[in-house]
Amino acid sequence: MSLMSLSFWKRYSFLRRWILLLVIFLFLLQFLRIKFLIGGLSGSLFLSWVKILDPFAFLESLVASKTFTIDALWATIPVILVYLIFGRAFCGWVCPMDLLFSWVNRLKRPFEVKFAEKIPSKVGFIIAGLLLLLSFLIEIPIFSNYLSHLTNFFRSLTALVFLIADLPVDLSLFAYSVMSLIILLILEFCFPRLWCRVLCPVGKIYGLFNKVSLLHLRYKDGECLQCASCDKVCYMKVKISQNIERRKLRSQDCIFCGNCVETCEGKAHLIKFKLGV
């Protein structure tokens, strides 16, 4: 195996971290009055004129307000177009929790919890439905406003910037957002990737695009070594080696992190990501 072929996927693993940091940097520019990205990842204004709205946030606002607006629909279209190309890659490339969770997973656990791995990821769709029902009943987008990891992350980041700049900050809201993130980190420590794989309604909606997105997992011609290394490194618990005869895999849980490609690149050279039909 050439050094270049292996280093390519190592660069690929680091590249997604740099992209995440770039997104956060673009978000921080608004505090310097550089209006490149205003808002957060649930809803924002790109280049001062392109409105961007997360599809689940759109659904929540729709059922909570019981009012349909063309502006809100148009704001979701750029997001949908991106996911029709890249599928659920947002979770592995842009979501800040993926980076924070990776740091948590470096810690040594004094215990090992297995039952959480057996919870079907499809349970997340039931949770998403219940959240939409709750938003409908109380007429408040409960997840987007209070429970969303994206909302609480960027709300905490904004408050931190305000504190540094000695600007007024709602300390109670800041404390709530920080505590929400800490709870997610504790959850990750006890039950690795339970949030990403099962509980997060945003991820469940994004996963639906994996079925039709141009980006997908594909198997090249060759003999599988049956080492199951791809399954072991997949923290989303996608059954990769078990589906190798299908030639391509479109799992709703795949976030295109590249771990399976990287580990197979060092062994059988069978797994790759394909952009196209």
pLDDT in tens, the chain (277 residues): 333 344 444 566 788 888 888 888 888 888 888 877 777 666 666 656 678 889 999 999 999 999 888 888 888 998 999 999 999 999 999 999 999 999 999 888 877 677 777 888 899 999 999 999 999 999 999 999 999 999 999 999 999 999 998 889 999 999 999 999 999 999 999 999 999 999 999 999 999 999 999 999 888 877 788 888 888 899 899 988 888 877 888 999 999 998 888 888 777 778 888 887 6
Query: What integer pLDDT is reported at residue 43 of this predicted model?
Result: 66
| Alpha helices, DSSP H, located in the chain | 3-28, 55-65, 70-86, 89-93, 96-104, 123-138, 142, 149-164, 171-190, 194, 201-208, 229-233, 259-265
Q: How do beta strands 37-39 and 248-249 pair?
A: unpaired
Decide which of 170, 194, 209 is a domain's last residue: 209
Calpha distance 81→213 (Å, rounded): 9
Q: pTM of the full predicted structure?
A: 0.87
Same domain, 202 and 229: no
What distance in Å separates the CA atoms of residue 222 and residue 215, rounded to the nearest whole number?
Answer: 21
**Residue 236 structural domain:** 216-275
Q: Which of 158, 186, 209 is the last residue of a domain?
A: 209
184 & 243 share domain: no
126 and 9 in a common domain:
yes
**CA 247, CA 227: separation in Å to the nearest integer?**
18
* Same structural domain, 184 and 267: no
Does 199 lie in the same domain as 223? no
Same domain, 139 and 158: yes
Q: Helix axis angle, 96-104 relative to 3-28, nearest 10°?
A: 120
Token look-up 């608004």 returns 30
β pairing state of 215-219 and 248-249:
antiparallel
Tell me which of 183, 209, 235 is where a domain ends: 209
CA distances from 65 to 21, 134, 143, 146, 152 (A): 34, 12, 14, 16, 22
If one counts the domains in the chain, the total is 2
Say whether 108 sits in a helix, a strand or coil. coil
Nearest by Cα to 95 from 36, 41, 55: 41
Q: Are residues 137 and 257 in the same domain?
A: no
* Domain shared by 80 and 199, yes or no: yes
Q: Are residues 192 and 231 in the same domain?
A: no
pLDDT the model gives residue 40: 67
101 and 34: one domain?
Answer: yes
Q: Are both 245 and 192 inside the same structural domain? A: no
